Structure 1
Amino acid sequence: MDRRSFLTKAGFAGAGAVAASTTLAAPAIAQGNQTWRMVTTWPRNFPGMGVGAQRLGDRITAASGGRLTVQVYSAGELVPPLQALDAVIDGNAEMSHGAAYYWQNKSQGLNFFTGVPFGMTSRELTGWVRYLGGQEVWDEIYDQFGVQGFLSGDTGTQAGGWFRNELTGVSDIQGLRFRTPGLGGQVWQRLGASVTNMAAGEIFQALQSGTLDAAEFVGPYNDLALGFYQIAKNYYFPSFIEPGLATELVVDKAKFQALPDDLQAIVRDVCQAEYDAVAADFAANDPRALQTLVDNHGVQVRQFPEEIMEAGAVAAKDILEELRSSGDELTKKVAESFVSALNIVRRKTEGTDSLFIQARERYFQI
């Protein structure tokens, strides 16, 4: 997909481009029906996440018979993308759709609910959140802000990023201007990169202008639409900083709890269904998009050198240990819960799933 065509069809005229005069209308409530506003961090019609956010809103509306209608606003339509959570906290929207690690300035503990370097895969993350105490500690963090988060989408293991030049070792990272968020950004920073975060719609221009030397966003399905291949040709796999990224739906907690029990259940259940739906979308379309990037656009698929992987693992472990001894009690609690759960869920992944994948690759080609 041509980037310009995608952005035109999406009606997305630059992330963060919101007129100063923009005001948010109050939610409609009539005859027991309510209309809630969902602000997102994604461009409209954005593959996977943007489409998933719209579908989530539509499914809540349909499942509730219109008793809870969700009106979805893409990045920049009502608020800048990286102010989506604040819109809910401030009462200017009832819902936001984004990624928890975008809000690490509010609590380092929020990083754990998106992606942890060398941490959980997306399937492992759901095990922690749903059955091993993850939701409870997540709730404790968001209680401070009067909101509640739910897992709402799953990209699977992401791509490692787009680089103008091939990487041969850690020395190539020194001073590299790299777009990458969360704990992963902290890892790359310790390896010598100059790290920044920016919303999806801003990355291409920053690469094109030379403000960035490299960028990672999600993977082939999204990156093809964003057109990164036009600037950088070296595409690295896999990401060691985002092994299983999750998106979140955040709701105003007081308004959510004021809903009838059945509407609360619809929101929770639709989020869980969308987590799986988005995962299937990426599973089906990432491989096809990657083939297009290679065959039609001359992209070079590469793997990170062992030196970079090893250095990244050391940095990731150091960061995790620092968070486990953090002065912030909630961050420490989340980190301890994450590590405890990881040591449980990884047994199946490494002892069963990965062994099967290795066997299938070796013995079963059809």
Structure 2
Amino acid sequence: MGRRSLVAGAGLVGVLAAGAAPAIHAQALVRWRLASSFPKSLDTIHGAAEVFARKVRELSGGRFEVAVHASGELMPAFGVVDGVQQGVVEAAHTAPYYFFDKDETFAIGGAIPFGLNSRQMSAWTYEGNGRRLMREFYARYDMTSFPCGNTGAQMGGWMRQEIRSAEDLKGLKFRIGGFAGKVLERLGGLPRNIPAGEIYQALEKGAIDAAEWIGPYDDQKLGFNKVAPYYYYPGWWEGGLQLDLYVNLKAFRALSPEYKAYVEMASTYAHVETQAKYDVRNPGALKQLVASGARLRPFPADILTQAFRESMRLYDELSASNEQWRKVYADYRRFRSDQNLWFRFTEATFDRFMQSQRL
């Protein structure tokens, strides 16, 4: 059996399970640079890019090397799409919704308020129409995409003052990631899109009143509990943030079929491992945060209700004004409806029962 036949026949699961790849002689050494939107201190989210790079190296027998550069080393956190599009770097690892100012459609590839959870997002991407639709959209920016991590449902963030109703959001200077700020604005809040490494200082100095990042493990590393006591849930704007590996189209097309397969295999491995890390590390971190004085609070019901209403209105407005959004969101919306119907009878009912038990 030839090398190419082996890769095609074994498939992703077979090659990963084998723990090795056939020797490669079809392509010379390849060296890529990858720009991350995240600091090295966050071993979970930044670590996804490092896992990807390690797997590419292993699968290729060391003939395909990806150098991972943290936020700010080669370019700013929010400059990585420009870097990939212009060919300054071959790849980037980021949260798609950071780039909603280019086109709101970017956000659908990551997370939108009251969108899909992590399992549903992976299903839409891999087995629904998500990958095809998003890649058609990204091609407008001379790049393609590969899922490369998911945080799962996130926490709602840290507040310097208690939030008792939707009225308390008015005038609140809130560090919130990307696209979700458009909904916060409609509730009277003042969104601030700040990279991870700059949030603590802004919160400590009072430049912002509140901040969200991901969840307990990362939030504890960033020290938010030291400067804001109230910890809210859930992060209704991020039911499952999917991270993306963006790759310059010219660079990807220059790869041999085997090397292209390694990019997809390695990104899928990192995609699964990243959420596993969060699911393992968040529970213990939450216990530690509460023990150190963090005050857990659910968002008041009127905030969730108003935020949902404004989100749906925003999506209708974008569907009327943005052709790219309309095309992708129409499919996403149908998929979300079917998934929520199914989860209502299975996952949600089972989860509610289990969470009510003393185990």
Give the TM-score normalised by the residue count of structure 2.
0.90
The aligned residue for residue 182 of structure 1 is 178
How do 1:161-176 and structure 2 match up within 5 A? 161-176=157-172
Between 1:328-337 and 1:214-223, the stretch displaced more is 328-337
Q: Of 278, 298, 304, which residue of structure 2 is paired with 1:309?
A: 304
Identity %: 32
The aligned residue for residue 358 of structure 2 is 365
The aligned residue for residue 73 of structure 1 is 69
Q: Is the 8 A contact 1:107 1:141 kept in 2?
A: no
58 and 45 in structure 1: CA distance in 2 versus 1, 3 angstrom threshold: farther
Q: Is the 8 A contact 1:88 1:96 kept in 2?
A: yes
Q: Of 322, 325, 331, which residue of structure 1 is paired with 2:317?
A: 322
Give the TM-score normalised by the residue count of structure 1.
0.89
Q: Distance in 2 between matches of 1:277 and 1:118?
A: 24
The aligned residue for residue 241 of structure 1 is 237
Between 1:311-320 and 1:182-191, the stretch displaced more is 182-191
Q: Distance in 2 between matches of 1:200 and 1:183?
A: 16
Q: Distance in 2 between matches of 1:179 and 1:139?
A: 29
The aligned residue for residue 299 of structure 1 is 294
Q: Is the 8 A contact 1:140 1:330 kept in 2?
A: no
The aligned residue for residue 353 of structure 1 is 347
Q: Distance in 2 between matches of 1:97 and 1:273?
A: 14
Cα deviation code 1:216-272 (max 9, x no counterpart): 111111100001111101000111111011111000112102211111111112111
Q: Distance in 1 between matches of 2:282 and 2:314?
A: 30
> Given residue 49 of structure 2, which amino acid in structure 1 is its aligned partner?
A
Cα deviation code 1:190-231 (max 9, x no counterpart): 111011101100101111111100011111111000011111
Q: CA RMSD in A?
A: 1.4
Q: Distance in 2 between matches of 1:163 and 1:45?
A: 23
Cα deviation code 1:23-71 (max 9, x no counterpart): xxxxxxxx70011000101111413101121111111111111221000
Q: Does 1:39 align with 2:35?
A: yes
Q: Is the 8 A contact 2:97 2:108 kept in 1?
A: yes
Q: Distance in 2 between matches of 1:188 and 1:210?
A: 19
Q: Is the 8 A contact 1:101 1:182 kept in 2?
A: yes
Aligned length: 334
Residue 102 of structure 2 aligns to a residue whose secondary structure is coil
Residue 163 of structure 2 aligns to a residue whose secondary structure is coil
How do 1:339-350 and structure 2 match up within 5 A? 339-350=333-344
Q: Distance in 2 between matches of 1:153 and 1:117?
A: 18
The aligned residue for residue 55 of structure 2 is 59
The aligned residue for residue 19 of structure 2 is none
The aligned residue for residue 117 of structure 2 is 121
Give the gaps of 5 or more residues in structure 1. Answer: 1-30
Note the C-alpha offset of 1:323: 2.1
Q: Is the 8 A contact 1:160 1:237 kept in 2?
A: yes
Q: Distance in 1 between matches of 2:241 and 2:335?
A: 17
Q: Is the 8 A contact 1:41 1:81 kept in 2?
A: yes
Q: Is the 8 A contact 1:45 1:51 kept in 2?
A: no
The aligned residue for residue 264 of structure 1 is 260
Give the gaps of 5 or more residues in structure 2. Answer: 1-26
